[in-house]
């Protein structure tokens, strides 16, 4: 497992993006929170809803980034033998 520490300079390059209303569905978010509470899941803290959502959003963003960088989707034969391919995954810990 490797640790990743973001620099202040890198963090300054990140700008908030306003999501269209259809992407950020308030009703869906409310349902997630309600289901978490009903299931006894805490909203914050270790293993809480916020931590799990953050993990999934970051993993999805990183997957999209590598797809964009390489120019082909995961398991696409276009990447075979290209010399610039996906070569596996490993666990990472992000310190914030």
Q: Give the tokens for residue 78.
A: 């276009």
Q: What is the pLDDT of residues 33-46, one digit of tens each?
A: 999 999 999 999 99
> Residue 81 region, left (φ>0) first, then alpha (ψ -120 to 50), else beta?
left
Give pLDDT, residue 40.
93
CB 86 within 8 A of CB 70: yes
Whether 7 shows a pLDDT value over 90: the answer reads no
Of residues 62 and 13, more confidence is placed in: 62
Give pLDDT, residue 3.
44
Q: What is the pLDDT of residues 10-57, one digit of tens each?
A: 545 666 677 676 666 888 888 989 999 999 999 999 989 999 999 899
């Amino acid at each position: 497992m490797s640790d990743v520490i973001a620099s202040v300079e890198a963090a300054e390059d990140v700008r908030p993006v306003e999501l269209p209303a259809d992407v950020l569905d308030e009703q869906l978010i409310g349902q997630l929170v309600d289901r978490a509470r009903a299931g006894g899941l805490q909203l914050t803290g270790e293993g809480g809803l916020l931590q799990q959502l953050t993990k999934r959003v970051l993993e999805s963003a990183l997957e999209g980034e590598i797809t964009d960088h390489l120019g082909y989707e995961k398991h696409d034969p276009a990447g075979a033998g290209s010399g610039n391919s996906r070569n596996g995954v490993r666990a990472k810990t992000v310190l914030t």
